[in-house]
Structure 1
Amino acid sequence: MKEITSTAVNPTIKKLLSYATLEEKVNEEYKKYTCLPSRKLYSIEVNGDTVSCMGVKFLNPKEAVIKHIAVLPKDRGKGIGSSMIRFLCKNYDIHSIFAETDKEAVNFYSKFGFQITSLGEKYLGVERFLCEFKVQ
């Protein structure tokens, strides 16, 4: 895992973030990761190519929120997303990890061990879910 700190937007990271947030919010979110001390952005490279990213917001020393997590479509299903969450658990002394997601990503979080709670239709026609993981 590599921490992204450069304020110059990496086009591959921008593409990955677009999988996890609205296209028009990508630059704003990237800037938050490089300017706010409570946020960190990480990537994973395979054979020199960036294939995934994970953006985290630290609420306090014991709790974190996964704001964005994305893996290139060709590299999904290989455990890369799970390895990013394991990195977070191993490298920070946190007790709880949260994420809010849509139906498409619920299975990913559920397989990892997150508890899933429906937040209902938060946006018109879109059910959202709160995912919570207690770090052992």
Structure 2
Amino acid sequence: MAKAGKGLARAPAGRIINLKPEVSTEEVQGLLALAVGRPTATRIEEVCQMYQFLAGWDLFGYRIGGDVVGCIGIQLLSWREGMVRHISVAPEHRAQGIGRAMIGYVLRRFALTRLTAETNAEAVGFYRRCGFTATALPEPYPGVERFQCVWEVEGVGLTAS
């Protein structure tokens, strides 16, 4: 289990905003396309509709000045558990702590004790640096590696003997 807050470093000056009102903008759809495997206009529209209309699906962004440079979509699975459905940072703003800041934000905003994500080999290191544990999943397609990443507050769910 990960320690609460491990790896959640400070990002450049910016602020986290609710992106639901902006989900149909080109800027937000471009960020979502970075987080969707094999993105098409139809698939991006479907993802946008999930955030607009499904209960428990929230979309937040990281704004620097007037630009949204990152986004995180979360699905609340239960009272204190969530799943990262989409996360991306514009290429020119990566490796600055923005992704970690967005993870930290959703953990605090929803007081989560467990956060999961399914990701590829390219992004698994990011989740590990944020304090997640990663377990390889069966390959959905030949040569495609997927990982289940889990962040949990230590001691949650343990009972006294």
Number of residue pairs the alignment of both structures matches: 136
Whichever structure has more strand as a proportion of its residues is 1
1:23 aligns with 2:39: yes
- Who is 2:119 aligned against? 101
Aligned 8 A contact 1:7 1:34 in 2: no
Aligned partner of 1:2 among 13, 17, 21: 17
TM-score by length of 1: 0.95
The alignment's C-alpha RMSD in Å is 1.3
After TM superposition, what 4+ stretches of structure 1 lie above 2 angstroms from structure 2?
A: 5-8
User: Highest relative contact order (Cα 8 Å, sep 6+), 1 or 2?
Assistant: 2
1:1-80 to 2 correspondence within 5 Å?
A: 1-6=16-21, 9-21=24-36, 22-24=38-40, 25-80=43-98
What does the per-residue CA deviation read over 1:48-91, in whole Å, with 9 as the maximum and x for residues that have no partner? 11100000001111110000000000000000000001101111
**One-letter code aligned to 2:20:** T
Aligned 8 A contact 2:23 2:48 in 1: no
What does the per-residue CA deviation read over 1:100-120, in whole Å, with 9 as the maximum and x for residues that have no partner? 000000110001110000003
Higher alpha-carbon deviation: 3-12 or 112-121:
3-12
* Structure with larger Rg: 2
Whichever structure has more helix as a proportion of its residues is 1
TM-score by length of 2: 0.80
Sequence identity, in percent? 33
1:81 aligns with 2:99: yes
Q: Where does the alignment leave 5 or more consecutive residues of structure 2 unmatched?
A: 1-15, 155-161
Aligned 8 A contact 2:89 2:99 in 1: yes
